Structure 1
Amino acid sequence: MTSQTSQTSTTATPAATQGSHMWVMTLEIPGREMTTQYGTWTPPADATRYDVFTALRDHIAAQQPEMKSANCVFFSLEPNRL
């Protein structure tokens, strides 16, 4: 099984230029491939959690087309603040 980790925003980015939410998503094609990506994003004001989930999943699939039919094994979306 191949495992990949990608980053869509750098960790050294000043907080003022980061998105309002931090996200992590792991997709897996069982027995074949897995990818974990993370970053920050400011969703539209009327967006639902599901809207963000599907947008991020589509974003990953655009980068890695083989992940279009992968299983989501982890998803986290949290406000980007301490």
Structure 2
Amino acid sequence: MTSQTSPSTTATQNTSQGSHMWVLTLELPGRGMTTQYGTWTPPAGATRFDAFTALREHIVAEHPQMASANTIFFSLEPNPL
């Protein structure tokens, strides 16, 4: 299983994108893997761990079978170039 989703809708204009771009890959060894990505603006005072937790919970809400998956890759970077 491979899919791409975002907790917020992304568009071609930067003004409608989140402040950060993220990529998260989860794997259930021998059963499946999902890589998802998108943009997101974390709430004021949020930490990197808060962002990771929120994004992982978003993926698990859409794919409950991934609740016990291993995190293979996580990236959270400022969106502007």
TM-score (norm 2): 0.91
* 1:77 maps to 2:81: no
| Long gaps (5+) in structure 1 | none
* 1:45 maps to 2:40: no
Cα distance, 1:45 vs. partner? 1.1
In structure 2, the residue matched to 1:35 is 34
Cα distance, 1:13 vs. partner? 2.6
Whole-Å separation in 1 of the counterparts to 2:67 and 2:12: 29
Let me know the Cα RMSD of the aligned residues: 1.1
Give the number of the structure whose residues are more often strand, by fraction: 1
Percent pairwise identity? 67
Q: Deviations over 1:52-78 (max 9, x none)?
A: 000000000000000011000000000
In structure 2, the residue matched to 1:26 is 25
Whole-Å separation in 2 of the counterparts to 1:6 and 1:56: 12
Q: Which runs of 4+ in 1 moved over 6 A?
A: none
Match of 2:2, SS state, is strand
Match of 1:38, SS state, is strand
Whole-Å separation in 1 of the counterparts to 2:3 and 2:71: 15
Cα distance, 1:7 vs. partner? 2.9
* 1:5 maps to 2:6: no
TM-score (norm 1): 0.90
